[in-house]
Amino acid sequence: MDDFVPELAEQLEIGYQNELGEFSLQIPASLGNGHVYGINFPNGIGLYTYKCSFKEKTQFRICHPVVKPLRILYLLSGELTSQFHNSEHVQKLKHHQHLIAAPLDQETHIINFPANTEVNLTYLEVDRLKFQQYLSFDLHELEPVYYRIFNDVKAERRICQVGKFNMQTSEVLKKIKSSELEGFPRVTYLGGKTLEILSYMLYRFKKEDHEFFSNNIREKDLEAIEKAAKHIEENIAMAATVHDVAKVAGVNTNKLQTGFQALYGKTVNEYIRDVRLSKALNMLSSGRKNVSEVVYELGLSSRSYFSKIFKEKYGISPRKLLNGAQIQEIPSD
């Protein structure tokens, strides 16, 4: 969010700098010392770095009226706590720990800094809607673990997971902190390092997800769910019922629904709808099809219904997107 550092500066009643989209400010001596940097890239990923110490306990309350972000915090030194304002749970973060945090819609994410403690913090902030539009493929083509994380553009599921980050991530974070590059080379360097950090976390997601399902879902059932998902993708124009999909997968409807909820966080019908919308987003963004052609290709009979569900998910009508408008973040109800 490009307005984070400027708004923080306003709250602190100080100025800030903007160098090719990288915003920065210095903590005033009356409050402590240190700095905050922030930059957002066209793919919807932002990089924020803090190195600061406050004279008194200080609380940062982060909430955006329309962006539904996923944040991945990395604490290189010091300590802090994190919480969501609608939850009583307070998560303590110590040296060399990471926190994956995704607040619910309209929920404030609170980061508490202790007094007289230098905190060396970096976090990635992913605007999941913008990130999805940036991809050159349909979101449902991703593995289920990534689909569950990045498809939640309405922030319907809260995430709060703590762990230790590996040495590879630590080294990249240190390189970012110590970089003396300036201008455009710095911006491109930070963009590359941000993706490198994200790639390490995505690998971790996949590894932990595989371990969970290996221990909780039989291999045969997992294969059946994946077969069903592939059938839906390859036959999206055919209005298949849950019973039809279950028959193709070789399982009963209850097991199919349970499996889809576990693997994708969706019912079968919700997954079918999301596959259609993901394909529609890809086709309309590329300009390959007009709205009527997209509706036909997706196996829908009502253009008005398609426009309604598309706008509900992406915050823009199909026609406006086709005419070159950019997807805007979903407005709050």
Q: Give per-residue pLDDT as tens, 172-196.
A: 999 999 999 999 999 999 999 999 9
Q: What is the pLDDT of residue 215?
A: 54
Tell me what the mean pLDDT of segment 23-35 comes to: 96
Q: CB 238: neighbour CB atoms within 10 A?
A: 10
> Model confidence at 246, in pLDDT bands (50, 70, 90)?
very high
Q: Where does 219-322 sit in CATH, by number?
A: 1.10.10.60
d(CA 57, CA 112): 7
Q: Please check whether the domain covering 4-212 is classified as CATH 2.60.130.10.
A: no
Average pLDDT, the chain: 88
Spans of all domains in the chain: 4-212, 219-322
Least confident of 141-145, 185-189, 279-283, 326-330: 326-330
250 exposure class (CB count in 10 Å sphere: 0-12, 13-18, 19+): middle
Helix H, strand E, coil C: the string for 167-183 is HHHHHHHHHHHHCCCCH
> Token pair of 128, please?
């999941």
